[in-house]
Amino acid sequence: MLVRSSAAVILIFFAIDLASSQQQDAPRVWTKSGRIRGRYLISAQGKKYAAFEGIPYAMPPIGPRRFEPPVPVQPWANELSANHTRDVCLQHRRDKNKWGSYLQGSEDCLYLDVYVPPPNNNSKRNASMPVIFYIHGGAFQYGATTQMGAKYLADYGVILVTIKYRLGVLGFLSTEDDVLPGNMGLKDQSMALQWIHANIAGFGGDPKKITLAGLSAGGASVHYHYLSPMSRGLFHAGMSFSGTAFDCWTQTENSREKAFRVADLVNCPNHEPREMMRCMKSLTAESLVGVEPNFMPWQLYPFTPFGPVAERNSKRPFIDRSPVEIINSGDVQDVPWITGVVSEEGLYQVAELVNKPAVLREMDQQWLSIAPHFLDYYFTIPNHMHSAVARVVRENYFGNKTIGNATLPQLIRMSGDRFFNVDAQRAAKAQAAANKSPVWFFHYSYRANTSMSDRTTNSTKNYGVCHGDDICMVLDNPFIVPKTPSDIAMSKDLLKMWVTVARTGFVFLLSANQNTLNGILNFIKNYLQCSSPNFGPKWTKVDPFKKAFNFLEISGPSKHKMKSDSNFAQVQFWDRIDFDENRVIIKPYGPRNAGSSIFFTGNAVLALVCFLGIYSFKFM
């Protein structure tokens, strides 16, 4: 018995000594908020890099701070242990977790992670490193960066920052007044960006070289920061992957009515905003987030019932007008911007339906009632026109075919065009017209050995390049791990693109065997001499004054070429449907000719009859 006790004591002291040794060897930084201790991780090339995870950038948004703008974090006196990432922001997920619940996360979630690469012996002593500030996606309702890491980027001399921000009801509820103006999640992002700008030098980063990057709702968030005075001057470039502020799902409609309905569902006063707020602040966060499915009437669609709003009645708004209004006014941060889409964006929605024949059958048979929710136009087209829009969209993409497994490619194209492709093009042209800084657009069509859709469809069938597949080639994740020679080469191409943007603000692609630093120097030299690099493809910036839309097609490693398309993503078809979010016309083209709209006041019935074939008129 004594021997066992002695052995136990020895093990305890060994564990304490080991922990003490690990703490002594841990990386440390000093910031304006206080001292921080992190841990070391290993990069893809076997190098040791520093990870500082779980750093608070704002006070916990709980109790009286629920639904309020973020409050700056108070400095801490003792050393902060930042050796593990914190829980995700409380969210209602689309699938159950391992405990059988759709709810996941914590309301206390305003934390960020910083990943610092090892010093480069070839760089100048004390040279600051560029920073990539990554914002996760998830339709503003769910998501996290816990599965997106710096394993690959750490080998390229770039600091990666990932953040958490409030989501869904807790992050975007709005009564459209100064009581609850909304956009708490975007304000969280801006506060995290302010913290990084003020403190990144302590990690070895350059506050003048912060590049925003994001996927989906994260990509749209990046674009929103170009439009917000809160984030002005805090970054030098941005990259929006499969998401812009023009996308229909990133602009919330009927926010006030939704807020009062939330109150009603949780038995709070639903007429006076202040009474409603007092009541909802007293409830559990889980009870509030739990009502979100009530705003997704068909198979959790529309997928973003709570998102960004124009704070027209707020004293300190994140934005005070719609994205199109802000860009048309020219009130946009004038720094370079890259945006683009993948070839099968619609897989994001459709992959969930692949193994659900009964749901596809329901969609086919009840399309007229389902379409306004699935295509997210319930609030942006008058009720009496809902069925008409459903008919013309179906005719355009399916003809007289049944919606089912045999027509999944058409369903994917329709979904991708509506939710991502068309509005990404519009956003790129509008921003290029408003700013002097260049805007570049890409179309990514490389199918890796695995895809994000494999997990959702529970199969390895090739349905195309899924929403998010490009990001997964750059950020370490469990979904796509580049293993084949082709995938590894494609990953290196994209990594070098990210790195050159972070370092220079310019964008171009190097093939996997080109040296990054020499490539950058050659690029800058040739850019200054003749505005045309003499290696690889020239990535031409978006020209808003040309009808044809120019973009870079990325179809494989070292396979990058410029293309031009005057009807990219069937934009001419979608331009003729008068969605409310498109009513403010993008300069420099001026107002659309009223006769070009299918659904024009006074002529709606005639236009619909013509379209359906009584007159043999069809879109080209």
Q: Which CATH number is 95's domain given?
A: 3.40.50.1820
What's the pLDDT band for 526 if we cut at 50, 70, 90?
very low
Same domain for 368 and 490, yes or no, is: yes
Helices (H), 355-418: 357-365, 367-374, 386-398, 408-416
Distance CA 537, CA 561 (A): 6
Same domain for 421 and 307, yes or no, is: no
Out of 285, 305, 335, a domain closes at: 335
Same domain for 142 and 112, yes or no, is: yes
Lowest mean pLDDT among 403-407, 411-415, 470-474, 590-594: 590-594
Q: How far is CA 530 from the centre of its chain?
A: 35
Looking at per-residue pLDDT, the higher value among 55 and 611 belongs to 55
Strands in 477-609 per DSSP E: 549-556, 559-565
What's the pLDDT band for 244 if we cut at 50, 70, 90?
very high
pLDDT at 427 over 70: yes
Same domain for 455 and 324, yes or no, is: no
**Structure tokens given for 264:** 């009603």
DSSP-derived secondary structure for 443-475: EE----SS-HHHHHHTS------BTTTTGGGTS
What's the pLDDT band for 154 if we cut at 50, 70, 90?
very high
Distance CA 410, CA 401 (A): 10
User: In which residue are the tokens 């980027």 written?
Assistant: 153
Asked if residue 342 belongs to a domain, the reply is no
Asked if residue 481 belongs to a domain, the reply is yes
Same domain for 86 and 140, yes or no, is: yes
Strands in 278-377 per DSSP E: 337-342
Same domain for 272 and 370, yes or no, is: no
Q: How far is CA 184 from the centre of its chain?
A: 16
Return the bridge partners of 104, or none.
Answer: 91
- DSSP one-letter code for 419: I
pLDDT at 22 over 60: no
pLDDT score recorded for residue 3 = 46
Looking at per-residue pLDDT, the higher value among 534 and 201 belongs to 201
Exposure class string for 84-103: b at 16+ Cβ within 10 A, else e: ebbbbbbbbbbeeeeeeebb
pLDDT at 532 over 60: no
Same domain for 358 and 327, yes or no, is: no
DSSP-derived secondary structure for 81-127: E-BSPPPPBPEE-SS--TTS-SEESBS---EEEEEEPPPPTTSPTTP
What's the mean pLDDT when you consider all of the chain?
87
pLDDT at 19 over 50: no
Asked if residue 103 belongs to a domain, the reply is yes
**184 close to 172: Cβ distance less than 8 angstroms:** yes
Residue 423: how many other CB atoms lie within 10 Å: 29
**Structure tokens given for 65:** 């701070």
pLDDT score recorded for residue 8 = 44
pLDDT at 2 over 50: no
Q: What is the average pLDDT across 499-515?
A: 69
What's the pLDDT band for 507 if we cut at 50, 70, 90?
low
pLDDT at 521 over 70: no
pLDDT at 20 over 90: no
**Structure tokens given for 493:** 């191409």
Out of 303, 335, 367, a domain closes at: 335
Asked if residue 160 belongs to a domain, the reply is yes
Out of 335, 361, 386, a domain closes at: 335
Helix (H) or strand (E) holding 497: helix 485-504
Asked if residue 171 belongs to a domain, the reply is yes
Asked if residue 617 belongs to a domain, the reply is yes
**Structure tokens given for 218:** 């994260």
pLDDT score recorded for residue 599 = 36
Closest CA to 495 of 514, 479, 478, 518: 514
Distance CA 417, CA 460 (A): 24
Same domain for 328 and 395, yes or no, is: no
Lowest mean pLDDT among 161-175, 200-214, 345-359, 596-610: 596-610
Q: What is the average pLDDT across 413-427?
A: 97
Distance CA 174, CA 312 (A): 11
Same domain for 411 and 316, yes or no, is: no
pLDDT at 404 over 60: yes
- DSSP one-letter code for 344: B
pLDDT at 177 over 90: yes
pLDDT score recorded for residue 80 = 98
pLDDT at 460 over 90: no
Lowest mean pLDDT among 6-10, 344-348, 394-398: 6-10
Asked if residue 357 belongs to a domain, the reply is yes
Number of domains composing the chain: 2
pLDDT at 388 over 60: yes
Same domain for 244 and 378, yes or no, is: no
Q: Which domain holds residue 217?
A: 51-335
- DSSP one-letter code for 83: B
Any idea which residues carry the catalytic annotation?
A: 216, 345, 467
Same domain for 307 and 364, yes or no, is: no
Q: What percent of the chain has pLDDT over 70?
A: 83
pLDDT score recorded for residue 120 = 67
Asked if residue 29 belongs to a domain, the reply is no
DSSP-derived secondary structure for 23-34: HHHS-EEE-SS-
What's the pLDDT band for 602 if we cut at 50, 70, 90?
very low
Distance CA 580, CA 590 (A): 17
**Structure tokens given for 467:** 């929403």
Return the bridge partners of 49, or none.
Answer: 41
pLDDT score recorded for residue 550 = 95
Closest CA to 415 of 354, 338, 357, 471: 354
What's the pLDDT band for 145 if we cut at 50, 70, 90?
confident
Same domain for 198 and 263, yes or no, is: yes
pLDDT score recorded for residue 124 = 53
